Amino acid sequence: MATANVTKTDFYEVLQVTRTATDQELKSSYRKLAMQYHPDRNPDNPAAEEKFKECSEAYQILSDPEKRAAYDRYGHAAFQGGGPGAGGNPFAGGNAQDLGDIFGDLFGEMFNMGGGGRKSSRVQRGRDLRYDMTLEFEDAVFGKEKDITIRRSETCSDCKGSGAAAGKAPVTCTQCGGRGQLRMQQGFFSVARTCPQCQGAGTIVQDPCKTCAGQTTVQKEHTITVKVPAGVEQDTRIRYQGEGEAGKYGGPGGDLYVVLNVKPHKFFERDGDDLHCVMPISFPQAALGTELEIETLYGRETIKVPEGTQSGKSFKLRDKGVPHLNERGKGDLIVEVRVRTPSKLSKQQKDLLRQLEETMGVENTPHSSGLFDKMKDMFS
């Protein structure tokens, strides 16, 4: 039976690059195509699996300088029969290590397992810390500096964070040979995982530091000056970078977050950067008008209440509120006046009020037809 001649696609065309492509261009194009046609992303798709194998073979040849040179000169014949580049399994030897690195990257992106670099590290960032600070209302308005003391882990000064005893040094991990990773060959690609013996550090502490017991950090009290800016409010967080727990194995320190709890004021209520308060006034003051003196956070101010002022009327004192945080200007102070009705009256006061009622007429009395008509109109 005659054997059909199968013409293989040019490797450069397979990887969608030119014959002058750099190593980085080859790698980038291959990674893109490999992720596109990977069997795990294309289950039950034989065509995609075949394309994936074709791309992998093309990259394995072109990423090796010697094999690429042979391919450029002889084409596919270089790897058939007794050609100069022949060597059986195209994935054995050669650039198999680089191919494994690429697949490490691929699996990291596809399954969120992290990159496939040649060496992992157990460099650890320190934990963030929280400190709750209680402030008086005025301190939140005008700002304040206050020293606080926190307990945190700090890099051991005796071993300088190595975890090893004085005069000693960590030794190379025998299980991973100092790489921090163990590689497992699965078919034509390899998968890397963190070495369980050294936890990715590549080294092991045999003689631990007596001060930190090999933990690289110790617990200490630390004092820091917190600068509270003017205008902060409840639950404001102030971040101090690097003032949290110390990192391990060369990692950066965590952050300290100071969370503010502001005590309420006995007279003022805050709404954003505005302040609100209520001032009681008597009926004669509301009817005849008066001047009120009010104690603000910035000193005494006078409010002119015109005659005939109704209960609930508000007056605004500009720029007597809370400073805008990290900006110029302030909010306002809103003063609401409320007419206070006395609960007890003397006989003389009652007589005077009756006389006032008589002088004002009967249009506002409950028995007035005018008032009844107004109420009737309201509810009709």
| CA–CA dist 230, 145 (Å, integer) | 11
* Token pair of 120 as six digits: 């992992």
Does 55 carry a binding-site annotation?
A: no
* Amino acid sitting at position 357: E
Amino acid at 292: L
- Give the DSSP letter string of 172-225: E-TTTTTSSEEEEEETTEEEEEE-TTTTTSSEE-SSB-TTTTTSSEEEEEEEEE
CA 84 to chain centre: 57
Q: Does the annotation list 277 as a binding residue?
A: no
**Helical H segments across the chain, by residue range:** 11-14, 23-37, 46-62, 65-74, 96-111, 137-142, 283-288, 347-359, 369-379
* Nearest residue to 140 via CA among 257, 279, 238: 238
Pairing of strands 333-339, 314-317: antiparallel
173 is known to lie in a ligand binding site: yes
> Is residue 325 helix, strand or coil?
coil
Binding residues: 156, 159, 173, 176, 195, 198, 209, 212
Binding residues for Zn(2+): 156, 159, 173, 176, 195, 198, 209, 212
